[in-house]
Amino acid sequence: MTFIKPRPYRRLTRSWCWWCCKRAAMKDMFKLRDGPVDWYFCDSEHALNWLEWRHRSVRANKVLRMLPRERETELQGRTIEDFLIR
């Protein structure tokens, strides 16, 4: 009988803002808890913008939930504000 060796748990200490995608230490970011999920933001203004825009359209929701690299490709050099307001 063989047992699966548990993988060592690596605690995450950095995250990115879900509005602007800038990376920072989690302890320096604003945490928004939505059900069982924690979302991290640069500040409360970015959290409020994300909350306001995430259900306005399917397109906006899709972009706001992308990882930073995917979003960079989708935005093609524009800011998230430029992309959503257009």
Q: What is the pLDDT of residues 64-74, one digit of tens each?
A: 999 999 999 99
CA distance 53 to 58: 10
pTM beyond 0.85: the answer is no
Decide if 43 is inside a domain. Answer: yes
Decide if 71 is inside a domain. Answer: yes
Average pLDDT over residues 15-20: 94
Q: How confident is the model at residue 1 (pLDDT cuts 50, 70, 90)?
A: low
Decide if 32 is inside a domain. Answer: yes
| Residue 81: domain span | 14-85
Average pLDDT, whole number, for the chain? 89
